[in-house]
Structure 1
């Protein structure tokens, strides 16, 4: 097997051919790096099959390998050309600039000829091959947008620096990622045809064999690669034979119906899931040397194609609520029919109005979270008020301190900078442009100010076409002021998160506050890892209180949360106003602040600052917060069987990201895989 002459490599899957390090330079260049053999990787059979399926049928659309570090994800992909039939692995580095990916002007040719000449980029090299992106979830946003456009059309259009051209760019997209470092946005995630969750082997015998093979490879790379040449050849021949079988695969009507039923049950958006499943099933049948797709092929294809597309079906409380209301009306109608009309039972109940009024006045004097009922139970307005306000038993809950519930790893909240400000802060939360020299160089631009970060490559490209008409005066290259370009850099920075937590009496029922505290602690831990600054506000009784001013101390925030009591009314509007005031005061101190307000509540409220309806007042304040450009996240804590959706309605008014409290956990893809294996249709 020929060694792969590569200038760089990952120590995990590359090994330098042993030899005398004192040899001459020309002999040293003949030594190469050896990739760890694809066939020698043990314990990742599902990953291997997913990669082979894409070699057999590139129309599947690639694969995303997501899993913990050290599970041979990159090793398998980089050694894929050992078993591929003429397809090469083209790797896209994370630090690649836009010019390097898309293509740009050929400086050398342009200077010598005097005409603009195009130099192709990575997308051109990837045409007809495999485009591999390691740590794809960390890729810059502008690079992601470019790849999405080309992946959708199969053509790379270039309009830049006076160049207008296009070229074909059809490739199999393969990405690897560690979910602990963040997730992909849904548009990019859907571009991967299939998804595989990668985990380390739990079998002790396999782990022992992994160590043996790794040590053998490091000891003698050439001998180890030669040992596995036969297996690599067999796999390559199997792929070639499956590629011949692929056009002969037949798809029956029953297979199409079963595929559509499974995708419909999984509640996938669009029709890409069905197409990927069929293409995957064809590759599975071809790999098994068959001409027909069977049910097992469709089941296995679903395990590959649906985990990252499966969505939870939306809750449908309205029909249940309407059914209950209809049943209640029917029962009331039956009672009225059976009763004697002359007796009029509803008017016989209030025999002792004085005692009732005294009891109600005594209850109103107490500090309770709920307002008493004012209308008869059969009134439509009474039903709405009872639904919007907490149940009567909540009003009996006095101040109490709940324990902090279970914490978890928080999913990627996908927060982005919504303005074009350049920031200097440090952190890991949000990618933003910066005017420092610390960030990643992503592209170049002209600048009206003094240049402090010269983009040398872009400046040469801008000056190159004019060298033939400029007076050299003994210079090799003439650069004018209009040619000067500066670097545009991008870096990650932290944000300022203000948590506004509902601590009213309604949160004390059914251990709801215990769950809320666990979720907030999880969010605080995530903020600490992203180097955010945090503040904590609670609202209950008749006011909102700042428990903790803006700080980097997550320990203080957790202590305040641990001692937070629950009880009293629900002044939602007061909580929103207090959060807004804290953020505005902080913005006066720090102009480049990235503020985020996180509201943790079920959206119910019964106390207003003015004489207006409490919920309408809260919505108006939410609109004001949105108008000020403050990013908002609403975490809905509603867990009742019949959900009113008040928090979701409030999130819509605030243009906020909406999450149910159970949706904050990060292992949603892993859950989808486990759910899929137990799919009812299987």
Structure 2
């Protein structure tokens, strides 16, 4: 990265101070802040931060924990099954969100939360209440909450749902902070309590609002929720500092904590050329160093508020922002759910994912609790009906066929990453070495993600499967020990072989990702005969057939100087195009993980 575009990342001590400040500001206004996404693995650093937040929250503020697989009834409220069966009439119960009204809920393993739970939390954050219409119960209960989402994601694929992140004011990452850097904070809980009482009296002038909106525009933050959250955080910062009106320091802190983590581009402030060419006048002989030191703070104070806020936010932007955005764009273009495989629903195996109406049998399992929950509201009517028919009306619970509920399951299919390597020409050894290194790096994590890798090499008259789909690192190293190289480029044969192997994977219920390493130039047709014109036509025909099969692929252009050939091939395949002329095995592995 060029020096002019390089932004220095704050050291870990500064990051920890900002994390503690975010905890204090969240404690001042948890409902207005919306929430905090805390990315950190379980450990002492995270525990210290969570304990700090608990200490800063007043004792009267409710604090509830939401488990990962929480049932809808426990989260939202609804029918109290035991009380209903005992009383013989519908009895409602309060959910966790209603119990936490005015306080905080802690969401465990937020990166794996279900879509329904994320939707319920988002609705509560938007409306400040929970509306229940289920199991014969209709109720609206207040649920003004702030959310602490603990993100334990091991890679970039595992993230808190965007619907929640968009409603959170703070996005923190404690992954690089060591235990010795997590020093105790000097923020006084009594100071936070006073700020909570003083918050309603804090005012914000138009210049502060314009500075926040201008900073969001400069950083490419399009969501209006982020600007609103920054406004509320600035008010909380002013209240924490005992001010009646938001000052420049409060606006800068809000921009640094709220807007900088959401930046999608680096700010490029416009500077007139005349000002850049002007040089400061030389100092007079009677000026000493103390006068020079006093002049710098004065120049900082003379800067417009928006420039001060933008500089504060820019200092918190990670230096690899552009690289992360490029990989994120490729990940969004992919059709699968991620490297862990596409999600498949069914009623036979996997993790429980709710229930549906149906009868047990053929592997489907009856969910007794939900069956009783559906039948409970109708017991009084059914007793009356039995009495009218002259039958015994003292039956405790009558379950009918329409009440049966069977459990639905959800599981991730196995992912197979297929490397298709151009082993022809003088650069074959270089490409094969990179592919071998990338395969070994990917296999190192296969036990965690339970995915497999395969390799196809095409050279001479056709293509050959060098490594069948496997997750065995020993077998992969043995198969990749000696790979052939040199000869013609049968690109069409390589694409056809990849499509056939990927089709076999998908037919067995898996997810296939094809990684094609080539320069896009072919000189051998499908029949193994040389000729660039016919070979290029065959390659495009194979690419179009690959696209019709709706397979996911990444075309990595490995030529020293990227040309349109590989990009045209990627468009014909419906694949992501990535030029990596100087990539090594680590860079290639990172690109594959980003797109797959």
Q: TM-score, normalised by structure 1?
A: 0.61
Q: CA deviation at 1:288?
A: 1.8
Q: CA deviation at 1:458?
A: 0.6
Residue 91 (structure 1) aligned with residue 65 (structure 2): yes
Rate the CA distance shift 1:496–1:166 in 2: closer, same or farther, 3 A. Answer: farther
User: Are 1:62 and 1:194, in contact at CA under 8 Å, matched by a contact in 2?
Assistant: yes
Q: CA deviation at 1:306?
A: 3.7
Per-residue Cα deviation, 1:150-187 (whole angstroms, up to 9, x for no partner): 43444434444454544443321111123326333444
What's the counterpart of residue 194 of structure 1?
170
What's the counterpart of residue 371 of structure 2?
459
What is the alpha-carbon distance in structure 2 between the residues aligned to residue 290 and residue 645 of structure 1? 62
What's the counterpart of residue 522 of structure 2?
606
Per-residue Cα deviation, 1:587-637 (whole angstroms, up to 9, x for no partner): 56x3xx2121222446734356467646643541232220xxx4x142644
What's the counterpart of residue 64 of structure 1?
37
User: Are 2:341 and 2:414, in contact at CA under 8 Å, matched by a contact in 1?
Assistant: yes
Q: CA deviation at 1:638?
A: 6.2
Aligned 1:79-118 pairs, distance under 5 A? 80-85=53-58, 86-111=60-85, 116-118=90-92
What's the counterpart of residue 625 of structure 1?
549
- Match among 305, 317, 327 for residue 258 of structure 2: 305
What's the counterpart of residue 23 of structure 2?
51
What's the counterpart of residue 246 of structure 1?
199
What is the alpha-carbon distance in structure 2 between the residues aligned to residue 183 and residue 172 of structure 1? 19
What's the counterpart of residue 138 of structure 1?
112
Per-residue Cα deviation, 1:57-114 (whole angstroms, up to 9, x for no partner): 3322211111243134256436744432332211110121233223332324544665
What's the counterpart of residue 594 of structure 1?
510
Counterpart of 1:303 in 2: which secondary structure?
helix
What is the alpha-carbon distance in structure 1 between the residues aligned to residue 228 and residue 131 of structure 2? 26
Residue 77 (structure 1) aligned with residue 50 (structure 2): yes
What is the alpha-carbon distance in structure 1 between the residues aligned to residue 558 and residue 510 of structure 2? 28
Counterpart of 2:42 in 1: which secondary structure?
coil
Q: TM-score, normalised by structure 2?
A: 0.69
Per-residue Cα deviation, 1:234-261 (whole angstroms, up to 9, x for no partner): 8332112222443444444443444344
What is the alpha-carbon distance in structure 1 between the residues aligned to residue 224 and residue 425 of structure 2? 46
Per-residue Cα deviation, 1:212-246 (whole angstroms, up to 9, x for no partner): xxxxxxxxxxxxxxxxxxx99x8332112222443
What's the counterpart of residue 266 of structure 1?
219
User: Are 2:570 and 2:577, in contact at CA under 8 Å, matched by a contact in 1?
Assistant: yes
What's the counterpart of residue 400 of structure 1?
none
User: Are 1:416 and 1:431, in contact at CA under 8 Å, matched by a contact in 2?
Assistant: no
What is the alpha-carbon distance in structure 2 between the residues aligned to residue 507 and residue 187 of structure 1? 46
What is the alpha-carbon distance in structure 2 between the residues aligned to residue 203 and residue 459 of structure 1? 49
User: Are 1:622 and 1:650, in contact at CA under 8 Å, matched by a contact in 2?
Assistant: no
Counterpart of 1:127 in 2: which secondary structure?
coil
User: Are 2:454 and 2:468, in contact at CA under 8 Å, matched by a contact in 1?
Assistant: yes
Which structure 2 residue ranges, 5 or more long, are not aligned?
1-14, 268-326, 387-391, 527-533, 581-586
User: Are 1:62 and 1:173, in contact at CA under 8 Å, matched by a contact in 2?
Assistant: yes
What's the counterpart of residue 444 of structure 1?
355
What's the counterpart of residue 393 of structure 1?
none
- Match among 260, 283, 286 for residue 236 of structure 2: 283
Counterpart of 1:545 in 2: which secondary structure?
strand
574-583 vs 252-261, greater mean Cα deviation? 252-261
What's the counterpart of residue 401 of structure 2?
481
Q: CA deviation at 1:578?
A: 0.9
Rate the CA distance shift 1:179–1:563 in 2: closer, same or farther, 3 A. Answer: farther
Per-residue Cα deviation, 1:289-319 (whole angstroms, up to 9, x for no partner): 23444444344333322454223579xxxxx
What's the counterpart of residue 554 of structure 2?
634
What's the counterpart of residue 298 of structure 2?
none
RMSD of equivalent CA atoms: 4.2
What is the alpha-carbon distance in structure 1 between the residues aligned to residue 95 and residue 498 of structure 2? 48
Rate the CA distance shift 1:161–1:293 in 2: closer, same or farther, 3 A. Answer: same
Per-residue Cα deviation, 1:298-351 (whole angstroms, up to 9, x for no partner): 44333322454223579xxxxxxxxxxxxxxxxxxxxxxxxxxxxxxxxxxxxx
Rate the CA distance shift 1:561–1:644 in 2: closer, same or farther, 3 A. Answer: farther
Q: CA deviation at 1:191?
A: 3.2
Which structure 1 residue ranges, 5 or more long, are not aligned?
1-42, 211-230, 315-409, 419-426, 670-682
Larger Rg: 1
531-540 vs 496-505, greater mean Cα deviation? 496-505
